[in-house]
Amino acid sequence: ALDEDHDGRVDRNLNYDDAGRLVSSDDDLNGDGVMETSSLYEDGRLARRRTDANGDGQSDTWTFYRGEEILRTELDRDGDGFRDEVAFYSKGQIDREEIDKNGDARPDTVSLYTDGQISEKREDLDFDGRADMVSRYKNGKLASREGDSAEVLEMWNRDGAK
């Protein structure tokens, strides 16, 4: 147990196996006395981390690693216990992001990235499993947008580009 900020409370618990390799850690990152982040290690290297970012006592962010390289992050934004957003990484940069806006466990928005910048976004605005709107980006800025129909464009404009 470590008190890294010297306030008299434990900030970090480290757990080791019989060979002396780190297998898990629990961290209080915001100094409130609650361990909101738990990390698991494989062969002494970070493999998974879960965090309660909003302080409700439930994990809402899960991050997966290979060595120190991030592979995937999953987020539960609405607190229902299911992942609403998943981001995939390649060589330390975001590669793809999937967002489930209606809770049906299928991505409604898929964003693709090139060199860490958004290059394309596919949106299923009516939740039928098909992309209704495709936006393409150049250098991270919107370059073109194609909609399935005028009705979809009206829906997108009315609801805002979420």
How confident is the model over 9-60, as pLDDT tens digits? Answer: 778 899 999 999 999 999 988 878 888 999 999 988 999 999 998 888 889 9
3-class DSSP state for residue 154? Answer: helix
CA dist 147 and 122 (Å) reads: 10
Cα distances from 69 to residues 15, 25, 46, 91, in angstroms, run: 22, 18, 9, 7
3-class DSSP state for residue 136? Answer: strand
pLDDT tens-digit profile of 37-47?
999 999 889 99
111: exposed, middle or buried (Cβ count in 10 Å: 0-12, 13-18, 19+):
buried
pLDDT tens-digit profile of 75-96?
999 888 889 999 999 998 999 9
